Amino acid sequence: MKEVVLLPLGEQSHIDALLSRLAGMVEAGREGEFALLLPSAQLLHQYRHRLVCTAARQLHLTTFDELAAEALAAAGLKITEVDGCTATEIIARILEDQAGVLPRLGRYAGSRAMARELAYALSQMRRSMLTPGQLKAALVQNPDPLLGDVLRVWEEYLAFMHSRGAADLEEQYLLAAPHLAEIPWLKEVRELHLCWFFDFEPLQMNILDNLPGELAVTVWMPFMHPAHAPYIEETVQALASRGYAVSRRAGPVSPLAANLFCTPSRPCPAPRVRGLAAPRLGQELELIAREIKRLAAAGTEPGEICLVVPEPRLYLPRLRQVFQEHGIEVAVPMVTDLTAVPWVREILSLWRAAASGWDRNGLVHLAASAYITAHLPPDYDGDAVAQAVASLSGPIRGQEWLLRMDRELERLNRQLEEDAEPGARQRAEALMSLYRAARAGTEAWLRGMEALTRSLSPREHCQFLQNLLEQNAHRIAPAGEDAEAVRDRAALDKFRRAIEDYLACCRLLKRTAPVAAGRFIDDFAPWLERDLALERSNPGAVQILAPSQVRGLKFKNVFFPGLNQDVFPRPDRGHWLLDRVAQRTGVVLSRASALVRDKIFFHTCVAAVEDCLYISRLLPGVGQEAGPSPFWRDVEAVAEGMELTTLASSDLLPPPEPVAITSARRLRQSLVYALAQNQEVPEAAEAWLRAGEGYSDLHMASSIEQRRESPLPPDNMDGVLARNAGILAADPAGAVYSISRLEQYARCPFSFFARYCLELEPALQDVPDYSALERGTLLHWLLEKYYAEFFVPAGHRGAEIRDVLEMLAEQWLHKYGRDRQNRMWQLRVRDAVDMVQALVESDLQWLERTGLRPVLLEASFGLPGSAVPAVRPGGGPVSFRGKIDRIDVVEKDGETWAVVYDYKTSQPVTKKDILAGRSLQIPVYMAAAPALLGRLGYTNVRVMGGGYYVIKKGKLEGGIWHKEFTVWSKKGLGALEADEFQVLEQNLAQRAAELHRDITAGRFPPQPSPGACTYCEYRRCCRYDKNRLGLKKGVESNAAQS
């Protein structure tokens, strides 16, 4: 018999009765006669506890993945399991091998990013039971060159897998289905129950279709509700067409769950609903923690409280800290990225240091290692190694470090013999002690890891890695049950599994050639990009669960934070390739959207509440969050008299209640709050506060404010730091700037001081749904990708350019998680494509007329990984680092003429601004271009100018140019005569030196250039007032200039 039992959403009485009956069968020793198929490991553990009291009993509680694996094992099929990373590597190999016959995808040969996109798309297509034959037939009727390439890659992928007896997860499901009847324990089972599923993927349906015919199968679906009926009915109809009898049963559900998402809504008194809202995440969690403490004080058991976390990476790290301060014990899955585990980061740093040839940065990172230390001497001094390496100048690598330290020791020894001045001798002796302490440690790193300086096969790299794990196991995975020890041991198990999976991939692809350390770590890194989840079960603690894990559970009180727009529910994010496949084939590749699933998960959380539902969210404007989630609005509409606790962005968090004051810090917080509110504070408490360290800070702040408002001359609190000038000038790194950093000082010294000296974070503001920054990112991305991957001199025109840009725009929408079905995003993308198309068409005419050709895109200098160091214009004291959007060249009369461009969204920078020293960007780019082009082999380079491609106007404007170039190119641009152009770099060096001298002299007065305050990030804290400055002695002239 096959049956589908439909129950009201969240109704559990019938499943409770089923579990009671099954528990009786266990008591009678008949546990082999039934099995439960469940959607999550969380529910599996819960039901196991309800069915049996001892772990000795063997129950058949399983999931679809486990069932498929057992079928393969029972059939004795010898296959090589392929994980997601290996599938990506196989597709990357296919793209490389087939590049010549893939007109659209061939350009992505060797691209792991595109291989990852294709691997995901193919897995989703196969999960929907789409076949290459179906796609081929669709393309006969409606050709698509891109999907033609996808089809070829798909066929090659399947052929590769079959020829090697390999199977990914989708293939394992297909292979397992015919062999389900061979599972030994399934032959004894008389009844199989599937609980808490609301849909089935086609591959799962295929599993159900292949279950033994004599097996009684019952699907329990407690999801019936008008809001979800259309979606649930599709699943029911699919099961009914397979012979499942459909029955509907009534049962009790809460009024809130019954009326939620109904139109029209009807207010419901039970269960109660309370709202919490705060501008910052810490305040939101603080409010939740206080409510939990209040419930506990009223007698609620911690295990009767559940906190549902929709965004674990956002909430869990801060949640542990806040709840620990309140003394709240939680049962929380410890989820972290494997590469975030400290000892894993050390291993990655080790291979990267070897890849860099043991340069300065590599050794400094390794010096403080606390885990990979078995090869280090007992008296190893990591601080000495770091300081010694940092003190030695020049491009030193490998064994050269030891030679340099030896030479320095010899030099310092001679200095001691020759110099009798006490101060000099003391400094020399200190340096000698430093180098002696550092040399042994440095030598241990270089000799202990010497093998990594050679190219090794993947197996040899992995063997070396495994040896390191064994030698340092007691530090990497220590004994103990604290959270860090448990995490590190689990990480070690997962790391070893990653090595095994990587080596299996190498065997499958026959990768045996030696590779350098850098190539190995790049190849191995994808296997480490996985989460590390540790289920820490404690029924007596507050339960922390994901929305999908609450199905089938009941709690007196449920807290659901993060109910903000685009946080929960998550926005529907289509896939640029899957959407294209669906349009051509008509096959629904993902029946359940993110919104449908999140709506059902949220509804089951509401149905799990017995006493009170607490919903919370972040207020917009401080954390850049959007408005309330539509789910918040839906609950608000049906909750009768919902009480709402809200903090404004300027509010202090109210002081802890007396029962929550568990430390001196919390008492101080409470007293300071009371004083700020002009409340009465007991004399003894105020005396205690005055005696504390924090009170002196308050007193100092008051004194500073009074001085700022007085007529005394401006001092360090107004940005005049003359007393500290010596310290600043002694900083050798002060002469290396990004262009925008030095321009910010020229624009407003005080904003520079706030950002780069005080390191103040700008005040967070409301961010529009489509900010100017995001629009600029999209436009730059389209231009970079077009010229890097699709540009053909005198090639594309009109519609061809637009086709390419529209495809790139789809990729951008997917990459940044934007909803391509949203009408607003469609209009935004169309607008961006229109602007970029106009610019590209204009640019192609310019290139065709002049013979210029783009040779460098996003060319960086002085940045990590740049091929060219920071540029020092005119040999001055200031060096710059940055990135040039584009460099074009043309060969002319034995010279390589070069021009540099920056993409601007709206307005260019004029020649006047550049000559006045207000804009440094184009002159710096011009100074950096020869070295960048030299790396490509260009000689006799002559930079003829630079300007701005204004995207909104679709043309080249502004900048500064050599007159010879503008005459030759017949382009009306801001030109200089040869002698003026010749001194541009020297003028840049002088202007940069002036700004640098002012910075090192500590001159940061709030004297902004006209208009600078309008968009300044620090206008809330600067409080610039030219009238106030005018009242201060000695600044009348400055005030007048302002």
Q: Minimum mean pLDDT among 204-213, 402-411, 1017-1026: which range?
A: 1017-1026
Q: Which long-range contacts (CB under 8 A, 24 or more apart) does 965-974 make?
A: 965/897, 965/899, 968/892, 969/849, 969/850, 971/846, 973/945, 973/947, 974/910, 974/911
Residue 201's closest CA among 305, 128, 310? 128
**Homologous superfamily assigned to 272-333+536-646:** P-loop containing nucleotide triphosphate hydrolases (3.40.50.300)
Whole-number pLDDT of residue 699: 55
DSSP 302: G
Longest dimension (CA), the chain: 102
Tokens of 487: 């995490």
Residues 6+ apart with CB under 8 A from 486: 334, 480, 534, 536
Question: What is the residue type of 1?
Answer: M
With a cut of 90, say whether residue 184 has pLDDT above it: yes
Residues 6+ apart with CB under 8 A from 601: 547, 548, 550, 551
What are the extents of the domains in the chain? 2-77+175-253, 80-164, 272-333+536-646, 660-715, 772-992
Contact 459, 500 (CB under 8 A): no
Whole-number pLDDT of residue 506: 96
With a cut of 70, say whether residue 393 has pLDDT above it: yes
Tokens of 843: 């640019």
- Sign of the alpha-carbon dihedral angle for 363, 365, 367, 372: negative
Whole-number pLDDT of residue 576: 81
The tens digit of pLDDT for each residue in 688-697 reads 777 776 676 7
Confidence class for position 701, pLDDT limits 50, 70, 90: low
Question: What is the residue type of 577?
Answer: L
Whole-number pLDDT of residue 49: 87
Give the Cα separation of 490 and 497 in Å (integer). Answer: 11
Give the Cα separation of 962 and 900 in Å (integer). Answer: 12
Question: What is the secondary structure of 446-491 as a DSSP string?
Answer: HHHTGGGGS-B-HHHHHHHHHHHHHHTHHHHS-SS-SHHHHHHHHH
Q: Minimum mean pLDDT among 222-231, 365-374, 932-941, 1006-1015: which range?
A: 1006-1015
Is pLDDT larger for residue 338 or for residue 850? Answer: 850
* pLDDT more than 90, % of the chain: 47
Question: From the centroid of its chain, how far is CA 557?
Answer: 32
Confidence class for position 718, pLDDT limits 50, 70, 90: low
What's the pTM value of the predicted model, to 2 decimals?
Answer: 0.66
Tokens of 579: 């959407």
Contact 671, 681 (CB under 8 A): yes
* CA distances to 486, 721, 1000, 1008 from 718, in Å: 51, 8, 16, 13
Whole-number pLDDT of residue 624: 44
With a cut of 70, say whether residue 870 has pLDDT above it: yes
* CA distances to 799, 836, 951 from 804, in Å: 9, 11, 17
Confidence class for position 583, pLDDT limits 50, 70, 90: confident
Whole-number pLDDT of residue 650: 45
* CA distances to 83, 116, 350, 501, 579 from 526, in Å: 11, 10, 17, 11, 26
Q: What are phi and psi of 390, to 5 degrees?
A: -65, -30
Confidence class for position 733, pLDDT limits 50, 70, 90: very low
Q: Is 551 helix (H, G, I), strand (E, B) or coil?
A: coil
Tell me: domain 2-77+175-253, CATH 2.10.10.90, correct? no
Confidence class for position 556, pLDDT limits 50, 70, 90: very high
Asked whether this chain's domains 2-77+175-253 and 272-333+536-646 adopt the same fold, the reply is yes
Q: What are phi and psi of 583, to 5 degrees?
A: -65, -40
Confidence class for position 722, pLDDT limits 50, 70, 90: low
Q: What is the mean pLDDT of the chain?
A: 85
Buried/exposed 406-421: b ≥16 CB within 10 Å, e otherwise: eebeeebeebeeeeee
Whole-number pLDDT of residue 698: 61
Whole-number pLDDT of residue 529: 83
Confidence class for position 503, pLDDT limits 50, 70, 90: very high
Angle between helices 483-509 and 84-97 (to 10 degrees): 30
The tens digit of pLDDT for each residue in 881-895 reads 999 999 999 999 889
With a cut of 50, say whether residue 734 has pLDDT above it: no
Tokens of 620: 């917009």
Q: Is 761 helix (H, G, I), strand (E, B) or coil?
A: coil
Question: What is the residue type of 424?
Answer: A
Question: From the centroid of its chain, how far is CA 680?
Answer: 47
With a cut of 90, say whether residue 898 has pLDDT above it: yes
Question: What is the residue type of 208?
Answer: L
With a cut of 50, say whether residue 619 has pLDDT above it: yes
Q: Is 738 helix (H, G, I), strand (E, B) or coil?
A: strand
Whole-number pLDDT of residue 1029: 59
Write the burial class of residue 87 (CB in 10 Å: 0-12 exposed, 13-18 middle, 19+ buried). Answer: buried
Whole-number pLDDT of residue 1035: 43
Whole-number pLDDT of residue 669: 65
With a cut of 60, say whether residue 8 has pLDDT above it: yes
* Partners of residue 902 on adjacent β-strands: 948
The beta strand positions in 638-702, using DSSP E, are 643-646
Give the Cα separation of 665 and 669 in Å (integer). Answer: 6
Mean pLDDT, residues 733-759 taken together: 82
With a cut of 70, say whether residue 243 has pLDDT above it: yes
Is pLDDT larger for residue 851 or for residue 707? Answer: 851
Question: What is the residue type of 961?
Answer: W
Give the Cα separation of 384 and 879 in Å (integer). Answer: 29
Q: Is 961 helix (H, G, I), strand (E, B) or coil?
A: strand
Whole-number pLDDT of residue 763: 60
